[in-house]
Structure 1
Amino acid sequence: MTHNTPLSPRPLHHLSQVQRRVLTTAQLHAHGVTSAETDERCRPGGPWQQFLPGVYLLHPGPPTSAERLQAVLLYARGPAHGNPAHGVPAQPGADGRNPPRRRPDAILTGPAALALHGFAGAPPLTSLEKIDVLVPRSRRLRGTGCARVLRTSEMPSPVPVTGLPVAPVPRALADTVTHLSDADAVRRLLSEAVRGGHCEPACVVRELHRARLLSRPHLVAAVDALLAERRAVAEERLYRMVREHGLPDPVWNVDLKLPGGPWLGGLDAYWPRQAVALELDTRAPRHGSRQEHDTQWSEYARKRELLERLGITVLHITPKKLRDAPEQQAAVVRTALSASTDRAPAAQIMVLPR
């Protein structure tokens, strides 16, 4: 008997190649393979092998990365959770409609999830000794072999990657850096999340806060670097928006001051002839107190109110809008510049390099 022996009576055409090579005890029983037959095929030198408790590779030799991921998911799902025929579409209910989808009982996270999301800074799947998998906190499942089980009270909504349920990038980052003490490695991963457009820094900071990781000094430093990185990326996108959409050149990174009077505040871009000011709104959840957040917002509002009283139109643009809709943001700026001819002249302002 070889590993190519058909597993009838249930056909396998609905399963992928990987799913055909990695099956659970329950799946094998559903295909008519008894426990005795499974044990026979898994003898030393046999065509099959037990990879994790209740999970079998239907071939000899080492598993591929895809097979390891599939095996960990099947192990984490457990025999009593989910459809044992993993990968089988949900069957219609009595009314002919499909039952509502529910979140998976197991979601890949940590370095494996980052690798699946395409992070260059994540270790390759082939080098991972452990594959992290999230399961509900109510489960009493323990890690074994290459499966490292992380229990959580709140399962995130998975992102499908190559047909596998994968944790969103912010959650995968948090589950990765919790095991990292190398500050440079943490900074590189957080930076790639922003530079690569995988997610907004605010989402990362919120997830790190939720995981109670912001008491660690090297993570606090990494978050500060992340927020600085966010501003640098946003500034690059702002320069590109002005250039590619044919807007008149502003003066960049300036301070405004009343002649002989007080300092009015700094701006990322200013069009003096039209009295139009633009400021990047890079506020993000931090490890500071709510009072600090409120103070920061009050400062934004105070500066805007003061400048508008002086006849200056103030535009706030978020990094996310610059990334997702630069053409729309360019139109907002162009409209403000055009409308300047219909307004009363602004007060005389001193423009100083920042």
Structure 2
Amino acid sequence: MNNNAPAVPLLLTNLSGDVQHRVLSLAQLREHGVPAGRVAARCRPGGPWQQLLPGVYVLHAGPPTSEERLHAVLLYAVRPSADGAKGVPAQTGPQSAQRPSGPQAPTAPPYSAVMITGLAALALHGFSSTPSVPSLTHINVLVPRTRRLRSTGCARIIRAHALPRSEQIDGVPVAPVGRAVADAVAELSDADSVVGLLTEAVRGGHCEPAALVRELNQSGLLVRPHVVDAVDTLLAEGRSLAEGRLYEMVRTYGLPAPVWNVDLRLPGGPHLGGADAYWPEQAVAVELDTRAQRQGGRKGDWSDDDAQWSATVRKREHLERLGITVVHLTPRKLRESMEQQATVVRTALTAADRRDPAAHVVVLPR
């Protein structure tokens, strides 16, 4: 027996979550009795271990799995900086949204406030329009802007002034879809690919169009013509889906047929605003909230949410002063609680007999 062989302490066989992925940092190995020299010896050519990223090791030979690459990138992002600065405290409690993957989902390692983002995150969210994790040459990881790390190997560092709330998918902290889409779009140069991501995010119910536009705007991407073109398609897609759900709600829950997509005006007077659905006899209007629409005709000229919401409130108050009931619906409400929204509209229609007669308005096609 060779007593000088760099044996691995038996304690390593009893490690928890990280050893299941066979990925450990140098600091973790030291904590379990493996000195740096022994780690280096086991990572020599032909050795049983390998260094995947600076200070991060895979405890087997051969190509790392996708899961191992993800955890290696996260461990690299939370390791102490070269200047000795420590990572920020681990996310626990309400800061991290949990998405259980099943009754035997592995416990998430205590990563600091970092998360997978970009195409890798979207693949974990289940997007079909993104490459699979094994085919990605690099994995984006979102870190606080104060972290002094460089992109290296398969780890690409993305800095954020304010980190979003992460989700746990199979033990991996992942950026929410809106932020992950924005970080993925930043790497894409053609409109078709961007349209594919945005469309799947909306059609798949992952994210509302307005939320995606906000993320793209905050990331400074709405100055790129191909992104603006893709957003034009997205907004049309989002409104079309919402209108389709509104038609479905009226049909499925037996509401009286309204007139669709109309403008309301006072006789000989000013324009009062549009309605996606209007019941003239009951003076009830339904308006879909698809904010983040373009103002004016210039590319990249996007409305401010607060200003647009204020205009919406003023319009609703004006109509209600004329005796018209305005029911405000969002695409998310129609998608997640259609029956409840149908009840809201039916209640407004039923209550019409108990209200004072509304002012006469002219109804025109929009």
Which of the five TM-score ranges fits, normalised by the shorter chain?
0.7 to 0.9
Amino acid in the other structure paired with 2:324: I
Structure 2 equivalent of residue 12 of structure 1: 14
- From the superposition, tell whether residues 14 and 232 of structure 1 become closer, same or farther in structure 2 (CA, over 3 Å): same
- Aligned-partner SS, 1:9: helix
**Residue 297 of structure 1, CA deviation:** 4.6
**Residue 113 of structure 1, CA deviation:** 0.9
Structure 2: distance between partners of 1:305 and 1:106: 44
Structure 2: distance between partners of 1:302 and 1:106: 42
Note the alpha carbon deviations across 1:133-188, whole angstroms, 9 max, x for none: 12222222111111112233323322211111111212111111111111111111
Structure 1 equivalent of residue 193 of structure 2: 185
8 Å Cα contact 1:281-1:317 kept in structure 2: yes
- From the superposition, tell whether residues 126 and 206 of structure 1 become closer, same or farther in structure 2 (CA, over 3 Å): same
- From the superposition, tell whether residues 60 and 292 of structure 1 become closer, same or farther in structure 2 (CA, over 3 Å): closer
Structure 2: distance between partners of 1:289 and 1:266: 20
What stretches of structure 2 of length at least 5 have no aligned partner?
94-109, 295-299
Amino acid in the other structure paired with 1:177: V
Structure 1: distance between partners of 2:142 and 2:354: 59
- Compute the TM-score of the two structures, normalised by the length of structure 2: 0.80
Q: How does 1:66-145 map to 2 (within 5 A)?
A: 66-79=67-80, 81-82=86-87, 104-145=112-153
Amino acid in the other structure paired with 2:30: H
Note the alpha carbon deviations across 1:34-87, whole angstroms, 9 max, x for none: 333223322222221121122111111111100111111111212464599x99
Structure 2 equivalent of residue 97 of structure 1: none
Structure 2 equivalent of residue 343 of structure 1: 355
Structure 2 equivalent of residue 30 of structure 1: 31
Note the alpha carbon deviations across 1:247-294, whole angstroms, 9 max, x for none: 222222234455666655432112233222211121227653668974
Q: Please, which moves more after superposition, 121-130 or 142-151?
A: 142-151
- Aligned-partner SS, 2:61: coil
- Asked whether 1:288 is paired with 2:301, we answer yes
Q: How does 1:197-236 map to 2 (within 5 A)?
A: 197-236=205-244
8 Å Cα contact 1:18-1:66 kept in structure 2: no
Report the count of equivalent residues.
336
Query: How much is the aligned-residue C-alpha RMSD, in angstroms?
Result: 3.2
- From the superposition, tell whether residues 301 and 109 of structure 1 become closer, same or farther in structure 2 (CA, over 3 Å): closer
- Asked whether 1:324 is paired with 2:336, we answer yes
- From the superposition, tell whether residues 340 and 154 of structure 1 become closer, same or farther in structure 2 (CA, over 3 Å): closer
Give the share of equivalent positions with the same residue, in percent.
Answer: 60
- From the superposition, tell whether residues 68 and 55 of structure 1 become closer, same or farther in structure 2 (CA, over 3 Å): same
- From the superposition, tell whether residues 125 and 337 of structure 1 become closer, same or farther in structure 2 (CA, over 3 Å): same
**Residue 208 of structure 1, CA deviation:** 1.7
Amino acid in the other structure paired with 1:254: V
Structure 2 equivalent of residue 93 of structure 1: none
Amino acid in the other structure paired with 1:288: D
Amino acid in the other structure paired with 1:328: Q
- From the superposition, tell whether residues 144 and 310 of structure 1 become closer, same or farther in structure 2 (CA, over 3 Å): closer
Amino acid in the other structure paired with 1:190: L
Structure 2 equivalent of residue 95 of structure 1: none
What stretches of structure 1 of length at least 5 have no aligned partner?
90-101
